[in-house]
Amino acid sequence: MEKLASGRVTQKSSELLDRFNSSLLFDKKLYAEDIKGSIAHARMLESRGIITKNELEEIVTGLNRIKEEIESDSFVFDIADEDIHMAIEKRLTQLIGDSGKKLHTARSRNDQVALDFRLYVQKNGLKIKFLLFKLEKVLLEIAKEHTDTILPGMTHLQHAQPINFAYHMLAYMSMFKRDIQRLESSYERNDLSPIGCAALAGTVYDIDRVHTAKALGFKEPTINCLDTVSDRDFALDILYNISVIMMHISRLSEELILWSSSEFGFITLSDSYSTSSSIMPQKKNPDVPELLRGKSGRVYGNLISLLTVLKGLPLAYNKDMQEDKEGVFDSVETAQICIEILSEALATMSVNRENMARACKVGHLSATDLADYLVKKCDMAFRDAYKITGAIVVEAEKMGIDISELPFEIIKALAPCVKEDILEYLNLRNSMNARVSEGATATKSTRKQIEHFEKWLQESVK
């Protein structure tokens, strides 16, 4: 059968070209968006008198039948059709005859594919956003249970100061909140309809781009058609957004892996989200967070790939842009399952409070409190207080105990100005709760942060 798009090229294309040129194997994923866009375009054509009402009804009926065929797996895909757009149009013409040939009036595959792809990105950006909201709710529930659960806060992966586990979880909530806001910003920025731009310069037909934009749920049409058909910033946006989400997931996964090790023992992952060794029966492996950590590299590659494809393209559309979709499809699907399984793994893990508290006795976490005490109560310069505190830490090291366990007499010998209340300052839980500044780790401050996130979630999830 002759191809629908076979104007200037008169010889039959080779089978090798069909295989090389076709995007049908992957862009058939856009069938629903293509049919939705075609119906909106047809209705606009009818409203402008370009096709008749009867032709519109035939087109809509035919497109809905094609959708049913695709979803019931009875649609026959032919790689010679090149892409999903031509496959649907060819089948429509088979079903309804000449009326089907009129559907492509006042549009090109250039604005058609830009529309389908943008609809896909917008739809899936929303899906990812709501999966992140689910993840945020899981983190919030964990935080509510652990505002008094003390563990070592770290810098350079070394014990630094005592914090609570809720506070640590809220740090990740802050990251994922930014991810949600980034998705919302991208959605708003890309809420523009490409259809009606045709190949690159618009069309001679008296169309109504506002009509189709509103019918498709967009805020308004794009401004410049030359930019529109060559624009893939919306695809780069979702790839970048997913890359940042996966970076945050990878950081949390790294901590879950460390925390579940025997050396830490801070958490225990559920058996439902762990695996066994193929040879060592005693092993329980944290494969979920390891895979989550690994998949960040995959989505980074998709972002870099599309940036590289686009970097040297002249205006307007070029066939290179056929390479825009597979990476986006892969990153979208990767992000969705990663967010879902992370939510489940977190919701089902156990937190080992005793191990966390025991770890706080390593590393002299309240040493900074001693230095601050000397500054405030002994009127010392901070550097002098810092030096004396270091000497006291050395003494604790010699005795094999934490600074919070030092007898008062030892501290007094090295810092004569201290009083017995210094022991209260060195208490690890008191140290944590002394940090009451905005955004700090004290239980009181942490609960205030929880209230902030609860309010934000209530206002955001409608």
Active site residues: 156, 277
Instruction: Give Cα 409 distance to the centre of its chain.
Output: 54
β-strand pairing of 220-221 with 192-193: parallel
Around Cβ 4, how many Cβ atoms within 10 Å? 17
Radius of gyration of the chain (CA): 31
Q: Residue 99, CB half-sphere, CA atoms under 13 Å: how many?
A: 19
CA distance 309 to 312: 7
| Cβ–Cβ under 8 Å, residues 392 and 414 | yes
Contacts 24+ apart (CB under 8 A), 259-265: 260/286, 260/289, 264/355, 264/359, 265/352, 265/355
Instruction: Give Cα 55 distance to the centre of its chain.
Output: 43
Q: SS3 for 285-335, per residue?
A: ECHHHHHHHHHHHHHHHHHHHHHHHHCCCCCCCCHHHHHHHHHHHHHHHHH
Q: Which helix (H) or strand (E) holds 141?
A: helix 109-145
SS3 151: strand
Q: Which helix (H) or strand (E) holds 152?
A: strand 150-155
Around Cβ 24, how many Cβ atoms within 10 Å? 19
Q: Which two tokens stand for residue 185?
A: 């910003």
Instruction: Give Cα 379 distance to the centre of its chain.
Output: 49
